[in-house]
Structure 1
Amino acid sequence: MVLINLHIISFIMLLILFYATYENFSNKQGPTPLFKSLHMTMRLFMVFVLITGFWLIAKAFTSADASHMLLTLKMVGGLSIIGLMEVTIARKKKQVSNRSLFIWTWVIVVITAILGTILPWGPITALFH
């Protein structure tokens, strides 16, 4: 249970840091003084999310009560979120059009969060045990 909470808290912190990093780079004035530290902290939380996510997926695949298809779909969603975040920030730094990537990142975040809540170890499923 502690690992799931750590994963969820790391994921929420990652989303907050992604938004803060994205907004701390102006297309006209460039990066703010906080941009680099926010970006590095965002990457640190990406590592936390990846480690806890892989630990949870390994634990789930060894148990018999897991829905492997939904777990795999959530894992692909989580990895795509990490990739989209990095590409969005990189394109923002290069001052290339990135608004659609920013929106698609948040769409996949919502889909992955919904998958995470309905999985066997998710918070909604835990209410009914």
Structure 2
Amino acid sequence: MDFLTSRTDLHITTWVVGIVIFLIAALSGKQSKGLHMTLRLFYILIIITGGALFIEAMKFGQGMLYGFKFIGGILVIGMMEMVLVRQKKNKPTTMFWILFVVFLLITMFLGFKLPMGFSFFA
């Protein structure tokens, strides 16, 4: 577990790869079951690394903000899945794209603003 919490690089790498795979799957014309299953594997990796960092973050005394970031991350993953599933069923996805972007921006802002993140906003 120390490997997961020693640096945030592993978590950042998993969500960057996850978002890239999501964009490829969502913006390509055809639905690929293998690509969707690979993305679901990355959902699990994102949650595991994020959960490990969340537990480590309790040392900073800002548990509520880290909790909001954790919930935001789960909502981002949920919106990614909703976009792909609704596209597969040929249903409208505009609302879920908007929610995806909003939740992603909030989660990234909190991630970079909090003490364990990079100091882009300092």
Instruction: Pick the TM interval, shorter chain.
Output: 0.7 to 0.9
Q: In the alignment, is the contact (CA less than 8 A) between 1:3 and 1:52 conserved in 2? A: no
The aligned residue for residue 105 of structure 2 is 110
- Say whether residues 1:46 and 2:50 are aligned partners: no
- Cα drift, residue 60 of structure 1: 1.6
Post-superposition CA distance 1:46-103 (Å, at most 9, x none)? 1110000011111222x1x231121011011001111111111110100001122112
What stretches of structure 1 move > 3 A for 4+ residues in a row?
Answer: none
2:119 is aligned to: 124
TM-score by length of 1: 0.83
Task: Show the counterpart of 1:68.
Answer: 63
Work out the CA distance in 2 between the residues paired with 1:84 and 1:113: 15
Q: Which structure has the larger Rg over C-alpha atoms?
A: 1
- Which blocks of at least 5 consecutive residues in structure 2 are unaligned? none
**Cα RMSD between the aligned structures?**
1.9
> After the TM superposition, which of the residue ranges 102-111 and 47-56 deviates more from structure 2?
102-111
Asked if 2 retains the 8 angstrom alpha-carbon contact of 1:57 and 1:71, the reply is yes
Give me the whole-angstrom Cα distance separating, in 2, the residues matched to 1:2 and 1:19.
29
TM-score (ref. length: structure 2): 0.87
Give yes or no for the alignment of 1:19 onto 2:23: yes
Identity of aligned residues (%): 32
Q: Distance in 2 between matches of 1:67 and 1:89?
A: 34
User: C-alpha deviations, 1:19-39, integer Å up to 9, x for none?
Assistant: 111012x3xxxx25xx22221
> Shift of residue 40 of structure 1?
1.3
Query: How far apart, in 2, do the equivalents of 1:14 and 1:72 lie?
Result: 21
Report how many aligned residue pairs link the two structures: 118
In 1, Cα distance between the equivalents of 2:17 and 2:76? 14
Partner amino acid for 2:20? Answer: I
CA distance in 1, matches of 2:19, 2:43: 10
Letter in 2 for 1:89: L
